[in-house]
Structure 1
């Protein structure tokens, strides 16, 4: 009887372990995600301070000029909502809309050619235009709706933190350098001494659509209007 009980419990344990492993390995978003980035010492991210942002669009124009983004499309957009409050005490809210550089990126998972990928050295979600066939699967899969087809190259395009332009020269992204109010902070999540990490430790932030399991790396410091939001 004892032998049978031990065999039964052993079998149940193996079954439970098998279920746990299956749940982890079959995550719909992480299944084909590049996990090499987690083994490096660099994982780039950005913080947008909505309280400091004035909606001037300097970041948008700097990105366009630096990365040669054609008219009619954009890698970065500042959305304005409002006004809130009563005149003359009115305010607007500004939100940065751009690639979230997800750690479990849906666009990477659906790309049939490997053109969409996560750079193993930086964690940046990038596009290899030489491999892109313009199928637009990545555009359909992105829950943030930040990808587009470049009208000149006819390939998928989006923010890449100025990987091929600024970062390759050891510089900060163009949008960060152009911001007159220092509303943008860029850095390495794995560097505890970086301005980015220090900011994240001192200011409450939020990320968009985290319930989808994409693990975005674009953080927002929410606008404080002086009232309790219920």
Structure 2
């Protein structure tokens, strides 16, 4: 068991679907073209940003989808070379690009569609210079990549970039193993859900409802 249980809480009552978290993630981690580690999805109608029901009885909310950093990650079990692993100190599910052989077994095993990306070619960028934090690991051809909970920022005692930029204050991050932490207090007092709980992965991303 990890020393810590770092969790992300997303308040679906506060999230306004502004995509700031997704953009901050892309810039902070210098993500290549067409690669997004964090996506905002509309729970409502058939189209993006559309509600369900008939006026005036409409309802809609947003959820952000990224790696769930599961307590029991399916991806770790199937990786043949240990490139996908669970950090013993924090519980964060990490990816070692140097070990990754591009077999994509982790992508097949993960029940959360679209949270991992595979670089088929040498990563290409919109700009001719790197953006974001200089400590972000370089992206490589024929490797799988995903949300890291901004591992490079955690190492400096900082919050993930998506948490820092959320204008609606819909995101909370911290150690759920610490009973005195803010996230522990919120989980004790707010109703919450996990994605695909029947898969048995026990995600460390919780959606407050």
TM-score using structure 1 length:
0.76
Matches within 5 A, 1:140-155: 140-145=108-113, 146-150=115-119, 152=123, 153-154=140-141, 155=143
Which ranges of structure 2 fall in alignment gaps of 5 or more residues? 45-50, 124-139
Give the structure with the larger helix fraction. 1
Aligned residue-pair number: 183
Measure, in 1, the Cα distance between the counterparts of 2:38 and 2:199: 22
* 2:28 matches 1:66: yes
Q: Deviations over 1:47-96 (max 9, x none)?
A: 11111000000000000111111121111001013313433564421011
Give the structure with the larger strand fraction. 2
The structure, 1 or 2, with the larger RCO (C-alpha pairs under 8 Å, 6+ apart) is 2
Measure, in 1, the Cα distance between the counterparts of 2:173 and 2:167: 15
Which structure has the greater CA radius of gyration?
Answer: 1
TM-aligned CA deviation for residue 142 of structure 1: 0.3
**Aligned counterpart for 1:118 among listed residues 78, 86, 95:** 86
Matches within 5 A, 1:1-230: 35=1, 37=2, 40=3, 42-82=4-44, 83-87=51-55, 90-145=58-113, 146-150=115-119, 152=123, 153-154=140-141, 155-164=143-152, 166-222=153-209
TM-score using structure 2 length:
0.83
Runs of 4+ in 1 over 6 A off after TM superposition: none
Which ranges of structure 1 fall in alignment gaps of 5 or more residues? 1-34, 223-230
